[in-house]
Structure 1
Amino acid sequence: MPRRPARPQPAPACPCGTGAAYAACCGRYHAGKESAPTAEALMRSRYAAFARREEAYLLRTWHPRTRPGRLGLDPRTRWLGLEILAAEGGSAFHSTGTVAFRASYEDAAGRQSLTEHSRFERYAGAWVYVDGDHD
């Protein structure tokens, strides 16, 4: 009996919530092939980096004046979803931008969410995360 060819598996979806394949979405930023074109795109790519534990990318996209030495991401934290609540500025025509978001996750304490109003700036021609206020 002849074997059927294996069905191609769909490309994994990006954790950032756009519905696009990871490689065509945040994966290209994580790999250093491109820089995120907007503050919101950077926010999404940073969320995806937390979900995939891409610590080097998170540090690389953090403003040098506020960047920690290391993050120590907990491998037991599972990121469940990202919701962009608001975005202001942060386009190709701006030097600063803000993004408010809610990220859902699960850790040893159970299901939780983090709401943050994040600030971004252009630094050396690329968008970087500066800091944020948590609700």
Structure 2
Amino acid sequence: MSQLCHCCSGKPFAHCCGLYLSGQAYPNTAEALMRSRFSAYVTGNLPYLRKSWHPDTCPDLSADDLNTDWCRLEVVKSKQGLKKSVVEFTAWFRNGDGSGESALHEISLFKLYKKRWVYVEPLSDWP
């Protein structure tokens, strides 16, 4: 049996985010990109995170940025546009002290950059 995708889509990893993280394909929607970025954090794929981040807002990422133990993802809502899109999600991670899980809630802005969706920044509210 194949491993389910880390993004919680219910699909096998090889037929979901695995296609993007391996470079076989690139996400054609902002939600697919956001899901693949979550899987990249889970699997420690730093090159993919850099490639999928808008160059104007991408921080100087290092392996230290991958220390969080992410465990599941829920897409709350998604609004796909032609040149910019917004995805609201909650991502759960295991607390380092073993006390359970905590959640990160974010409304993320994505834009088309050189004909590819890229993550730009978190928004303070749904636009």
Q: State whether TM-score is above 0.5.
A: yes
Among the aligned pairs, what percent are the same residue?
36
For 1:68, the equivalent position in structure 2 comes to 59
Matched, 1:22 2:13: yes
Matched, 1:114 2:104: yes
Match of 1:35 among 23, 26, 32: 26
Q: 1:32 offset after TM fit, Å?
A: 1.2
Larger Rg: 1
Q: Tell me which moved more, 26-35 or 114-123.
A: 26-35
Structure-to-structure mapping, 1:1-135, within 5 angstroms? 10-71=1-62, 72-75=64-67, 77-90=68-81, 94-109=82-97, 110=99, 111-133=101-123
Distance in 2 between residues matched to 1:115 and 1:23, nearest whole Å: 27
Q: Which residue identity is paired with 1:114?
A: L
Give the CA RMSD over aligned residues. 1.6
- TM-score normalised by the chain length of structure 1: 0.84
Give the helix-richer structure, 1 or 2: 2
- TM-score normalised by the chain length of structure 2: 0.89
Distance in 1 between residues matched to 2:73 and 2:103, nearest whole Å: 10
